[in-house]
């Protein structure tokens, strides 16, 4: 979020960040302009990298081979025909859902607070898919039925801890949870407990409630997850957007906006 008052005081005129233009409040009712967003591809690619890594046991198998301790220690999870749950069918959610449907014939169920089947069908059509491919269900049905749950929801006061004890308990024991959106969408303590108990197959996290992740965070524990009955865990340091092409475009646009401002021209994607 952007503290516009502080920005004015400091003379900051450009923010090289995609997303919703926001003030210093996370207000669900506030009408906020959009800042131009970069390509959806980096986060979409990263989401699928995490899904595949967790489903195919990539990190665990790599570590086992390099330690000399094993060979084919477990079975991978096939994605063909499985159910993909999308929490937040926006641009990123739709892109992730489209790949799951086209690549592995996954059944896509989706939910967000104001999502209707009509909106989902329109999103599918915009993605070049037939109506009904993105099936809108209740939040509870999504968490109970999905084999893979991917979060793509906007963080606000109302969506904070959108995934808590109740939702995690509804998940299948064989299901995986992937979060490339915002760490605070998930109750971190509840997820930690769920994984400690081995209640789901695993989780893949690119975002956390505190970033950078503290040195002694339980999420940093090595040689721990996936052992002793605990769920598997894959973590990355908020890399979903950190793509060479996207970052270069951001900085180029930021420089252009500085030039525009100095020349007295209208800046691009102004939010205030």
Are 87 and 162 within 8 A, CB to CB? yes
pLDDT single digits (tens) 156-188: 999 999 999 999 999 999 999 999 999 999 999
* Residues 32, 197: Cα–Cα separation, whole Å: 41
135 is catalytic: no
Please tell me which residue in 46, 82, 98, 182 is annotated as part of the active site.
Answer: 182
Is pLDDT at 215 greater than 90 in this prediction? yes
- The catalytic residue among 118, 140, 211, 227 is 211
Q: Which domains does the chain have, with CATH numbers?
A: 4-38+243-262 (no CATH), 41-235 (3.40.50.720)
pTM to 2 decimal places: 0.83
pLDDT, tens digit (0-9, with 9 covering 90-100), for 90-148: 999 999 999 999 999 999 999 999 999 999 999 999 999 999 999 999 999 999 999 99
Instruction: Decide if 238 is catalytic.
Output: yes
Q: What is the pLDDT of residue 271?
A: 66
Annotated catalytic residue 182: yes
């Amino acid at each position: 979020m952007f503290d516009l008052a502080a920005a004015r005081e400091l003379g900051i005129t450009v923010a090289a960040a995609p997303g919703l233009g926001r003030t210093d409040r996370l207000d669900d009712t506030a009408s906020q302009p959009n800042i131009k967003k970069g390509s959806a591809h980096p986060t979409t690619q990263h989401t699928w990298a995490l899904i595949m890594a967790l489903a195919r046991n990539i990190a665990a198998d790599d570590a086992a081979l390099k330690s000399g301790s094993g060979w084919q220690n477990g079975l991978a999870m096939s994605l063909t025909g499985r159910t993909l749950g999308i929490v937040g069918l926006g641009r990123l959610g739709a892109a992730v859902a489209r790949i799951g449907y086209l690549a592995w014939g996954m059944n896509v169920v989706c939910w967000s607070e104001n999502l209707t089947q009509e909106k989902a069908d329109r999103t599918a059509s915009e993605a070049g898919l037939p109506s009904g491919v993105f099936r809108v269900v209740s939040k509870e049905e999504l968490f109970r039925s999905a084999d893979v749950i991917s979060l793509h929801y906007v963080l606000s006061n109302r969506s904070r801890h959108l995934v808590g004890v109740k939702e995690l308990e509804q998940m299948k024991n064989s299901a995986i949870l992937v979060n490339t959106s915002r760490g605070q969408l998930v109750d971190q303590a509840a997820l930690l407990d769920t994984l400690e108990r081995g209640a789901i197959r695993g989780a893949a996290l690119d975002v956390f409630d505190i970033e950078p992740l503290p040195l002694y965070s339980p999420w940093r524990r090595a040689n721990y997850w996936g052992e002793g009955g605990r769920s598997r865990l894959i973590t990355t340091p908020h890399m979903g957007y950190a793509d060479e092409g996207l970052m270069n475009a951001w900085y180029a646009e930021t420089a252009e906006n500085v030039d525009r401002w100095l020349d007295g021209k209208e800046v691009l994607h102004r939010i205030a």
